[in-house]
Amino acid sequence: MITIKSDAGQKFRNSLLERFDISDIIFLKRANWSGIVTETDRLYSTMLHDWDVLQKDSTDIEKAVKSLDWSVTPYVSKGEKVTPLAEDVARLVEDALWHRSSVEAGEFGRTFSQLLGVLCHAVFRGQNVHQIVWKNENGFIYPARFEQLAPQYLQWETEPGKPDRLLLVPDGAVAQPVPFPKYKFIVALNNTGPDHPLYNASYYSLVAWFVAFKRGLGWFMEFCQQYGLPKPVFHYDNPDDKETLIRDLNDRRVINALLLEGDRQVEWASVPAAGQSLPQRELLNMAEAAVHKAVLGQTLTSDAGGSYAQAKVHAGVQ
């Protein structure tokens, strides 16, 4: 039986992205063509943890799934009555699933109820795999905890002629990928879309918006520097005076000033009047609306953030 040993170093090898150049993002988005999910998973994780609205919406879905009433129903053939054996089996399964976990304090492992919520992230990222850690207590065998596999242990089949499936890389590096052994792993795939799970990942549609969101913040700061602060204008006739003037401004911590040589004049653009929206603000609002549609399926056309109607739509979809 294959067992993946917990490796504390994986979290450092899967650190979040720091660069958001368009060329880098495009490369990461297309990296799944190789069947290796490491980089695309890293891109998704970065988007999830760097984009507050995406994190909130996905967390809301996760909480909603965990809050559902989960139970085990005895098996019964159509038209027949439930047998006592089926009821006993159902009780045994339910006891095993909800039996106390063996997740120690500070240990990164999930209980069954936590697993239910996390599995829904397969919809967003395309796949999600957990290893089942079984435990035997005086003959009572139950899933003690669930450990999420790092993306290095996952790879899609790439050899033509073989069944298309997600495979396990036992050493997380160079070992030959193998099928998942039975009864040891829970593999969640996004099969809800019309295409392969690699492309069904709903976060794919948000990658461009994420780049716009990250760059939009920079544009917004530049806009504020240009139009949001009073900008003193200094004229000088002698070019030799320029360096002295710059030194004096630096000493006085003047960081937003315009220097004009001779009689040159400048005309300032005014801040948009009330009721007019800033392009940067519109960009951020549009990016957030894209997240709501992709994650919550929001259909409300009003963009009044935080409105009662919008909250009702979010709650209903959730």
pLDDT in tens, the chain (318 residues): 788 888 888 888 888 888 777 778 888 888 877 888 888 888 889 989 888 899 999 898 888 888 888 889 999 999 999 999 999 999 999 999 988 778 888 888 899 988 988 998 888 888 999 999 999 999 999 999 999 999 999 999 988 999 999 999 999 888 999 999 999 999 999 988 788 888 888 888 888 888 877 776 665 666 666 655 667 788 888 888 888 888 888 887 776 777 888 777 766 655 555 555 666 677 778 888 888 888 887 655 444 455 556 566 556 655
Tell me the residue ranges of DSSP E strands in 149-277: 154-156, 166-168, 185-189, 233-236, 258-261
Q: What is the pLDDT of residue 270?
A: 57
Written as six digits, the tokens of 194 are 């019309």
Report the side by side order of strands in the sheet with 127-137. Answer: 140-148, 127-137, 185-189
Q: What is the pLDDT of residue 207?
A: 86
Q: In a 10 Å sphere around its CB, with 0-12 CB exposed, 13-18 middle and 19+ buried, how is residue 130 labelled?
A: buried
Residues 197 and 78: their CA atoms lie apart, in Å, by 33
pTM above 0.85, yes or no: no
CA distances from 135 to 131, 132, 143, 195 (A): 13, 10, 6, 38
